[in-house]
């Protein structure tokens, strides 16, 4: 179980507990957190679950796989250092305390 903090573009925070094995995207959808559309349902075939990872967490996440890198290029205002797809961030105990911010919009 990990506590994940989602920050909407306007600054509103949502803190939720997610079970291991879920993705950060699934946690947003199941908790009705606005800002993550997840049009492809987590198949890494779009960029509508794009998030900015808090700088403190960047080096603590597993590296991006090539498919995620390709999809991030289509995201709204991607940040080469902080952008990730929430569908590719699988929850483990090591992610307890993770903070992600949603962009102004999703492409």
| C-beta neighbour count of 59 within 10 angstroms | 8
Question: Does 106 map to a domain?
Answer: no
Whether pLDDT at 31 is above 90: yes
Which of 102, 104, 90 is CA-nearest to residue 54? 102
> Counting Cβ atoms within 10 Å, is residue 32 exposed (0-12), middle (13-18) or buried (19+)?
exposed
State the total domains in the chain. 1
Which of 103, 55, 99, 102 is CA-nearest to residue 77? 103
Structural domain of 53? 2-101
Question: Does 43 map to a domain?
Answer: yes
**Tens of pLDDT along 51-87?**
999 999 999 999 999 999 999 999 999 999 999 999 9
Look up the CATH number of the domain holding residue 66.
3.10.20.30
Question: Does 107 map to a domain?
Answer: no
Is residue 11 within 8 A of residue 36, CB to CB? The reply is: no
Query: What is the model's pTM?
Result: 0.95
């Amino acid at each position: 179980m990990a506590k994940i903090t989602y920050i909407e573009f306007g600054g509103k925070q949502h803190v939720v507990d997610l079970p291991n094995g879920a993705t950060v995207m699934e946690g947003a959808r199941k908790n009705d957190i606005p800002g993550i559309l997840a049009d492809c349902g987590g198949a890494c075939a779009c960029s509508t679950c794009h998030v900015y990872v808090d700088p403190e967490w960047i080096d603590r996440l597993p590296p991006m796989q090539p498919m995620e890198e390709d999809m991030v290029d289509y995201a709204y205002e991607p940040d080469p250092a902080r952008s990730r797809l929430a569908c590719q961030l699988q929850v483990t105990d090591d992610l307890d305390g993770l903070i992600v911010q949603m962009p102004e919009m999703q492409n």
